[in-house]
Chains A and B, each alone.
Chain A
């Protein structure tokens, strides 16, 4: 007990009597840790923002019927060629319906699955938006707006009006912002849509939708599921797509395969749909960590240098400590504790600096059409970064301190005392 106290006292005296070197070494750590915290908070904040941008607009699993040719052409069923093969020219897609067969029982099944956060029905239709004699081609998607609001951040993208307004209206439409601009329409106006078959329906604009992706905003409109079913003249069970959100996104590929087999529909999962996106996130993380680790290693070398110098200056002191009965281990402890004190002080200061820089970045205005809810640069205040930062500070200072301290342990006091 007292032994540690004496050793720490010696370590402390050494540090305080050469405040300049101590400060320099600590600032090295502070700089490294501060930069790490700032970088990692900012980068992961950006990553999360971009993830949200994609993830919230994309269902984890998307069920639909694809129009495609039969995998087994009739001729295959009819005769199995022996030592021969057949060629079928101009294969046509199979005649099938766009709607998902038994959609409501499937929805019911999904909603009871504990792994599923929610499943929403959609009806996608090709229509024309009419403006006088001009027809603009576009999509109208029938949705259950209140369920969508619960499962995705569609509310954030409604820049005028509210989702409730669409829910309350039998013939309301949320019109894409680009479409509205083209046709000089605004909330409260009426718009006529025409189906592919030619039927014309009037709808009332209850709000504007802006995803930030021009290609979508120029063609997309949302209306209630029932409204679209009525426009198309289809029954209440006519649903073309089911969007599924899972509690654990990593289960999406396995679950997609299972649903495909179970219900005989096409099922794509989010990884398939956004494979390139993951890669981007991974590479950004890699850059963040390699830069941070480099900074910390530089700080570690600073500590190593300063302790090495200190030990050369303190040769006589080390010899005298050993002569008066301090063991090599005691001397090593003195120098390692100095390194760790520098690490802790510099590290904690670094966390503070990192936090303050993060706050600063958090306050900088950052406005983009794509993200109507974002007004400043995103920062991820994950406490783990702070824990990792401090641990790394301790680890690197320990390693940087260990080598010089080990040298101090091995110093032969006789050589030093007789040498002068």
Chain B
């Protein structure tokens, strides 16, 4: 199976407040259609690792490959382009632009990519919303919908450019069990129906155990 994401001997240090070796020689890869979760105690460096894998954090040593292309050392412009095209991101706190409507929030990354016309983007966005059963919210302001709905809007936004991988930083951490279940099912469905790769940081053991693979982090090292 094709490898989507490959981490090769990644090390990271925090310099402040005291010098600290956060990630130690991390090596693993994520294959196409794989649903992986990263687990670990707080402070084990799991979020830090995710942000490095997402290309947003560039302050590390080692090499990161995306679709077999070296990403490490690329310009910020180029990395923005990669994030826009290939990576969908879902955060613990939904992080929608509150002044825009739900539909506009979902459309934004596609408009930035600029590969399709406005109408096509709008159609795609509504399709994604339908898939997540929230198309009735399309015209609402992002600030006017509930937490579970916001998370689903964020997922729709992450999917709008049909990315190679969806990353989540505790995407269910802020949701009740009903909505967590809902989000998990959506992820599962995306993997099975569309062959999407997923990489999710979580400390919800029930959530992690149902994924294909758990990457266990302890004191900055992959232990399994």
Binding site for B on A (CB under 8 A): 1-3, 5-6, 9-10, 13-14, 17, 316-317, 319-330, 413-414, 417-418, 420
Contacts and interface: CB of A to CB of B under 8 A. Distances in A.
Contacts of B47: 418
A13 B100 contact: yes
User: Which A-B residue pairs are the 8 nearest by beta carbons?
Assistant: A325-B84, A327-B80, A2-B114, A6-B111, A325-B83, A17-B99, A324-B109, A320-B95
B113 A325 contact: yes
Interface in B50-65: 51, 54, 56-57
Contact of A316 (B56, B87, B95, B161): B95
A13 B99 contact: yes
Interface residues of B, number: 32
Nearest to A4: B114
A50 B95 CA distance: 65
B111 A322 contact: no
A2 B80 contact: no
A6 B100 contact: no
28 contacts: A1-B114, A3-B112, A6-B111, A6-B112, A14-B99, A319-B95, A323-B54, A323-B56, A323-B91, A323-B95, A324-B83, A324-B89, A324-B157, A325-B82, A325-B84, A325-B109, A325-B112, A326-B80, A326-B112, A328-B76, A328-B80, A329-B77, A330-B112, A414-B56, A414-B57, A417-B95, A417-B169, A418-B47
Given A325-B85, A329-B77, A418-B47, A6 B56 contact: no
Nearest to B100: A13
Contacts of B26: none
Nearest to A413: B56
Interface in B92-140: 93, 95-100, 108-109, 111-114
A324 B81 CA distance: 9
Given A324-B157, A326-B80, A418 B114 contact: no
Interface in B138-187: 157, 161, 169
Contacts of A328: 76, 80
Most A Cβ at <10 Å: residue of B76, B80, B87, B89? B80
Nearest to A7: B112
A324 B84 contact: yes
A305 B122 CA distance: 36
Contacts of B112: 3, 6, 324-326, 330
B137 to A, nearest CB: 18
A217 to B, nearest CB: 71
Query: By CB atoms of chain B within 10 A, which of A17, A323, A328 has the most?
Result: A323
Contacts of A323: 54, 56, 83, 89, 91, 95
B56 A322 contact: yes
B77 A327 contact: yes
Given A2-B114, A13-B100, A420 B93 contact: yes
B217 to A, nearest CB: 16
A17 to B, nearest CB: 4
B80 A322 contact: yes
Nearest to A17: B99
B51 A414 contact: yes
Given A14-B99, A320-B97, 8 more contacts: A323-B91, A324-B84, A324-B109, A325-B113, A327-B76, A413-B56, A414-B51, A417-B91
A43 to B, nearest CB: 44
Contact of B80 (A13, A317, A325, A420): A325
Choose among A13, A328, A418 the residue with the greatest number of B CB atoms under 10 Å from its CB: A418
Contacts of B51: 414, 417-418
B218 to A, nearest CB: 20
A327 B51 CA distance: 16
A2 B113 CA distance: 9
A399 B108 CA distance: 28
B61 to A, nearest CB: 17
B108 A6 contact: yes
Contacts of B97: 10, 317, 320-321
Contacts of B100: 13
Nearest to B91: A417
A329 B97 CA distance: 19
Contacts of A10: 97, 108
Contacts of A5: 111
Nearest to B89: A323
Contacts of A321: 97, 108
B85 to A, nearest CB: 7
B168 to A, nearest CB: 12
Nearest to A6: B111
Contact of B111 (A2, A13, A417, A418): A2
